[in-house]
Amino acid sequence: MFHKTNFTADARPGHVQPPSGPAPATPISANLLDNLVYLRTQFGISSDLMIREIHLCGYQAAVITMEGMVNRHILADAILLPITEIKGSKRTPAELMEYIRDDVLGSGDMIQVRTMEELMNLIASGFAAIAIDGVDYMILGGIQGFAMRGVSEPASEVMIRGSREGFTEVIRINLSMLRRRLKTPDLIFEMMKAGKTSNTDVCLCYMRGRVSEKLLRNVRQRIENLPLDVVLDSGYIQPFLENKHLSIFTSVNTTERPDTLCGKISEGRIGILVDGTPFALIVPYLFVENFQAMDDYTMPPYYASFLRILKYIAFVVSLLLPGLYVAIGTHHPEMFPPVLLLSYLNADHTTPFPLTFEALLIHFLFEIMREAGLRFPRAGHAVSIVGALVIGQAAVEAGLVGAPMVIILALTAISSFILPTLYAPISILRFVFILLGGALGLYGILLGATLLLCSICAIDVMGIPYTAPVSPLTFKALKDVVIRADWRQLWKNKFRVQNVKGSDLRDDGKQP
């Protein structure tokens, strides 16, 4: 009666089904000219395709690369120079190719391909291909040498104590950062491709023995079935990993920090690195994780616990405070202590707008200014000054907005910055709660809050309740939810995300 569909990638409503079966591959021809013509046709007038035609032991040959993707010095030293120095003419083209592959080239990354698709993909990734007329395959050496950003401190997750390293846009470097932290053969990097045209490298990172097999199959299947043509960022993949496409809360986390990702992976989660973006995805992501940060684990437990509680309070304040103020001011002024009531009445009589409209207006203005400051960083200071002057002072003095409302806005804004991962849902829901408070008073706020709670409880992250371990309650896991227990206790927990109560992925197969 109450069964529900366990949404897998292929069964999701509204999900675009990918065409069945892969497109037929084009084999590499033994005729070099044909291959070069094919490549030229595929890349069209792209100027970055570099084909260097040479003669090797009397045979026509070519070195194919993409300009800007390879290191010119390595190309010269490790590929061109060794092969041009090959002497003798007794070998067949196939023998020559085998000789180059086995005895000449010094590149660590050596791949042999037989289809044009593989070839194009690899040369676009910074490989140099060697083709010889009369051989129906090519060998490629990895001599990547493209320009890239160095490893720097992640801007979106600043930590007081702990590593200053953040992911970069290059997937291989990111993988090395993970490997350096988890030196175990159980750490698996499973490379996949996403985007039919972009052929973006996607890597599933997980720990064998800790990750749930069901979960892994599910994630793998979803990425394999991605209907996207181009994947330029992990954000493209993220919606396809979520169950409820209309949910305001995300069940996929992002992180820029390798240490955070390692921590999550060690708890049985799967990290997804996408080439070209420093933001890794983490699945599954539970609601309580919004209140956890890497810093919590480096600080003393009492202080980390204090910060946790602070974050929960900040969440409630940033979500409900404006709505509560509007509700109390509009419908329940009896709740103000007498002296505060005087201040409220003072402000209310001097402003022309209804409280609801006033709250909507000021929060709307704030969001505009915040967005302006964010998108146009150089003007950030100017925006702040204008914001402070316009909202903070001029609007109050002109009698457009009451002083208490400005205080409420300030409190709300500051509180919402404490929880960067929840900023988006909070900023939207805040408007909803202002409307609810204005229309239905505290009843509206409470109804809205309970309905919101119910909707959060309804989210299922690939078989794990989004609200776990709070509801369904896993008592042991609470040591890292409301408080952050000492490491001496935490390590005993051996927490695995799939083992929380209510999970369909439990190792022991137990149902709640």
Partner 1 sequence: MEKTVKISPWQLLSLILVSRIAVALTYTGGAAGVAHGTDRMVSLVLEAGLLLLLFLPTLWYIHAAKGIGSLEYAYVQFGRGGAVVAVLYALYCLYIQCLDLMQFDHFASTAMSPDIPRVVLCIALVAAAFVAAFYGLEAAARTAAVVVFLMTLVIVFLGLSLIPDMKALNFPPLFYDGVAPVIEGALENLPRFLELGVMALLVPYVKGMSRGYSAGILTAAAVVLVMQVTLVGVLGDYSEMVTYPYYTAVTIAHSSMLQRLDILVAAIWLAGIFVKMAFMAVLFLGCLRQAFGDKLKILYVALGGAVVLVVGLILGDTLLAAEHGYLWLASTILLLAFSVVLPIVLLGANAVRVKRRKERGEAV
Partner 2 sequence: MRTWFLLVAVLLGFVMIPSCREKSQINNRVVVTAVGIDDAAEEGCALSIQAIEALKIAGSLTNQEDNATGLYQTQGETVSSAMKSFVTQTGRNTYLMQNRAIVLSMDQIQKQPLQTTLDYFLRNTESRPGVYLAVSRGSPDEVLGIKTSSYTIPSEYLVTLLREGQRWGYSAGTTLLDAERAFSGMFDAYLPIVRVEGEGDDASIQMDGTAVFREGSFVGELNAEETRGLLFIQNAIEKGAVILEREEGPPVTLELQKSRTKISLERTGDTAAFTIRVTAKAEIAEESDGDSLAAGNLRELSRELEQSIEQEVRAAVEKTVMDYGCDVFGFGRRIMQKEPGLIRGEEDDWPQKLKECAYHIVVDAEIRSIGTDTGAKPNQVS
Angle at Cα 244 formed by Cα 240 and Cα 247, nearest 5°?
A: 115
Which single residue is written with the structure tokens 């070099």? 32
Which single residue is written with the structure tokens 């988006």? 424
Residue 439 interacting with partner 1 (CB under 8 A): yes
The piece of 119-127, 265-273, 362-370, 444-452 that touches partner 1 (CB under 8 A) is 444-452
Q: Which stretches of the chain bind partner 2, using CB under 8 A?
A: 246, 329-331, 333-334, 338-339, 341-343, 345-346, 348-350, 354-357, 435-436, 438-441
**DSSP of 264-286:** HHTTT-EEEEETT-S-EEEES--
**DSSP of 440-456:** HHHHHHHHHHHHHHHHH
Q: How far is the CB of 339 from partner 1 (least distance, A)?
A: 12
Q: What single DSSP character describes residue 262?
A: H
**Which residues are bridge partners to 103 per DSSP?**
none
- Of the candidates 96, 113, 134, the one whose C-alpha atom is nearest the C-alpha of residue 27 is 113
The piece of 74-82, 141-149, 362-370, 471-479 that touches partner 1 (CB under 8 A) is 471-479
Report H helices in 351-422.
355-375, 380-387, 395-397, 403-417
The piece of 160-168, 261-269, 403-411, 460-468 that touches partner 1 (CB under 8 A) is 460-468
Identity of the residue, 278 or 441, whose beta carbon is nearer to partner 1 in the bound complex: 441
Is residue 121 exposed (0-12), middle (13-18) or buried (19+ Cβ within 10 Å)? middle
Q: How far is the CB of 10 from partner 2 (least distance, A)?
A: 23
Phi, psi of 209 (to 5 degrees): 90, -20
Cβ atoms within 10 Å of 258's Cβ, excluding its own: 27
Q: Rule CB under 8 A: choose which of 92, 343, 450, 489 binds partner 1.
A: 450
Strands 127-132 and 110-113, by their bridges, are unpaired
Residues 6+ apart with CB under 8 A from 174: 167, 168, 258, 273, 278, 280
Identity of the residue, 5 or 20, whose beta carbon is nearer to partner 1 in the bound complex: 5
Identity of the residue, 172 or 501, whose beta carbon is nearer to partner 1 in the bound complex: 501
Cβ atoms within 10 Å of 376's Cβ, excluding its own: 11
Report H helices in 57-151.
72-74, 81-84, 93-99, 116-123
Identity of the residue, 331 or 479, whose beta carbon is nearer to partner 1 in the bound complex: 331
Q: Look up residue 326 and give its two tokens.
A: 């509007």
The piece of 63-71, 149-157, 421-429, 436-444 that touches partner 1 (CB under 8 A) is 436-444
Residues 6+ apart with CB under 8 A from 102: none
**Distance from CA of residue 214 to its chain's centroid?**
22
3-state DSSP assignment of residue 355: helix
Residue 463 interacting with partner 1 (CB under 8 A): yes
Q: How far is the CB of 343 from partner 2 (least distance, A)?
A: 7
Q: How far is the CB of 47 from partner 1 (least distance, A)?
A: 50
The piece of 69-77, 180-188, 261-269, 453-461 that touches partner 1 (CB under 8 A) is 453-461
Say which amino acid occupies 489. Answer: Q
Residue 14 interacting with partner 1 (CB under 8 A): no
Q: What single DSSP character describes residue 474?
A: -
Residue 263 interacting with partner 1 (CB under 8 A): no
Interaction partner, residue 203 (partner 2, partner 1, none; CB < 5-8 Å by kind): none
Interaction partner, residue 435 (partner 2, partner 1, none; CB < 5-8 Å by kind): partner 2
Identity of the residue, 269 or 506, whose beta carbon is nearer to partner 1 in the bound complex: 506
Residue 509 interacting with partner 1 (CB under 8 A): no
Interaction partner, residue 22 (partner 1, partner 2, none; CB < 5-8 Å by kind): none
Q: Rule CB under 8 A: choose which of 392, 471, 483, 490 binds partner 1.
A: 471
**Applying CB under 8 A, what is the total number of residues that bind partner 1?**
43
The piece of 138-146, 150-158, 163-171, 468-476 that touches partner 1 (CB under 8 A) is 468-476
Q: Rule CB under 8 A: choose which of 4, 183, 349, 488 binds partner 1.
A: 4
Residue 354 interacting with partner 1 (CB under 8 A): no
The piece of 1-9, 42-50, 264-272, 423-431 that touches partner 1 (CB under 8 A) is 1-9
Q: Rule CB under 8 A: choose which of 272, 465, 499, 505 binds partner 1.
A: 465
Interaction partner, residue 354 (partner 2, partner 1, none; CB < 5-8 Å by kind): partner 2
Identity of the residue, 398 or 447, whose beta carbon is nearer to partner 1 in the bound complex: 447
Report yes or no: 117 and 25 within 8 Å, Cβ to Cβ: yes
**DSSP of 217-248:** HHHHHHHHT---S---SHHHHHHHH-S-TT-S
HSE-CB at 483 with a 13 A cutoff on CA atoms is 12
Is residue 353 exposed (0-12), middle (13-18) or buried (19+ Cβ within 10 Å)? middle
Residues that bind partner 1 (CB under 8 A): 1-6, 8, 11, 331-332, 334-335, 337, 439-444, 446-451, 453-455, 457-458, 460, 463, 465, 467, 470-473, 501-502, 504, 511-512
